[in-house]
Amino acid sequence: GVFRDLFINQMNLMDRGIKMAAEADEPLDQNFVRKHALEQAAELNISLREASCRVFSNSAGSYSANVGLAIENGGWEGEEQLQEQFLTRKGFAFNADKPGMMEQQADLFKSALKTVDVTFQNLDSSEISITDVSHYYDSDPTKVVQGLRDDKKKPMSMMADTTTANAQVRSLSETVRLDARTKLLNPKFYEGMLSTGYEGVREIQKRLRNTMGWSATAGEVDNFVFEDANGVFIEDAEMQQRLLDTNPNAFRDMVTTFLEANGRGYWETSDENIERLQELYAEVEDRIEGI
């Protein structure tokens, strides 16, 4: 949405360039833009030029897929709901032939995504990582593409790290592991957060919730991330007490996130850990309610 609003000239150039490629008289084995656009034109009974739209976003004045919002409040029944939400809100095509208009093209959007082999995002700020905020996974289409592909194969998911002059491209799973080890599971990080008090505990919980977000949209979070986080924040009785005393509401949300991650199949752990979390949830709830 922000790019749509601020970089309309660049989006216009991208759309024009893609349309030129689709209309170029070239062999289909050398021009996959044309190949797919021709297939989509036939499938949807539309013109080649319309079928070559490849720049999609929200409707005018609308922002995000709201997938992050659903995951943050836990109000989603399954991944299918998140994927349909993404497709519905992001399925508006930018068309250089109709500047300033965002037309709903959900069928064309789905048809284009069916042929995707690789998803890609760019991390451009060292101050905001992929679990600091929800908008990175909110925009991630990995499982959306998997659900649309005829072979149900999950596309390769890549992330470019351009936060330094030494830019690197890593797999999404590697990026999630790196982020977990340097932030959520790093004593320097979580002790620094705890030193700030109430808000620090909320920041730790938010990062755990956003990590689960990547499980929901991409399935690229290793089991050890949740297991080690449980070891740091739940199994350690002293740490558990510090979190509870500093911000009981955020700690309750943390316990809820662990239970939800297990319940949704993102974290495999022992029955003992789950029983401990269930008991802990009841204890924290009683404390908050003053029982």
pTM (global) more than 0.85: yes
Determine contact, residues 96/106, Cβ cutoff 8 Å.
Answer: no
Look at residue 291 in the predicted model and tell me its pLDDT: 65
DSSP-based helix, strand, coil % in the chain, nearest 5: 60, 10, 30
- DSSP lists the bridge partners of residue 158 as 120, 171
Q: For residue 95, give the nearest of 85, 108, 82 by alpha carbon.
A: 108
Look at residue 156 in the predicted model and tell me its pLDDT: 96
Look at residue 126 in the predicted model and tell me its pLDDT: 78
Determine contact, residues 250/202, Cβ cutoff 8 Å.
Answer: yes
Look at residue 101 in the predicted model and tell me its pLDDT: 80
CA–CA distance from 36 to each of 9, 23, 33, 79, 276 (Å)? 25, 12, 5, 27, 53
Look at residue 127 in the predicted model and tell me its pLDDT: 83
Strand spans (E) along 113-227: 118-123, 156-161, 168-171
Q: Would you tell me how many other CB atoms lie within 10 Å of the CB of residue 247? A: 22
Look at residue 174 in the predicted model and tell me its pLDDT: 96
Give the phi and the psi of residue 169 in degrees, each rounded to 5: -115, 125
Determine contact, residues 111/44, Cβ cutoff 8 Å.
Answer: yes
| SS3 (DSSP) at 167 | coil
Look at residue 124 in the predicted model and tell me its pLDDT: 84
Determine contact, residues 116/87, Cβ cutoff 8 Å.
Answer: no
What is the CA 157 to chain-centroid distance, rounded?
11
Q: For residue 285, give the nearest of 263, 242, 261, 253 by alpha carbon.
A: 253
Look at residue 96 in the predicted model and tell me its pLDDT: 87
Mean pLDDT, contiguous 10-residue spans, the chain (291 residues)? 81 94 96 95 95 91 90 92 95 86 91 94 87 93 96 96 90 96 96 96 96 97 98 96 95 97 97 96 89 65
